[in-house]
Amino acid sequence: MPGSARAQGMDQLSQLLSGGLGGLTGNSGQASAPIAVQRNAPPYTGMFSGKTTTGSETKSLDAKFACYPAHDPAFEQADAFVCYAAQ
């Protein structure tokens, strides 16, 4: 991936995770457009380990996941994946 495309993708990911681009707020203007998931494609697999702390309480999550290529109309210029995890 060329540097400018990688930078744009990381910028979009950063905006998505912070609630921008409508990704987490539902205000993308594409709310009724479906996300198409290619479940017949071989999945990308991985593991996630994370923690969150609220006050004095710390919660952790360790999960294995499979990610499938997808098309999300809200992110026309970026590769999209839908990931499924089992706990």
pLDDT in tens, 33-49: 888 999 999 999 999 89
Q: What is the pTM of this model?
A: 0.51
Number of domains in the chain: 1
The residues pairing with 69 across neighbouring beta strands, listed in sequence order, are 81
pLDDT band at 74 (very low <50, low <70, confident <90, very high): confident
Which H helix or E strand runs over 3?
A: helix 3-17
Structural domain harbouring 15 = 3-86
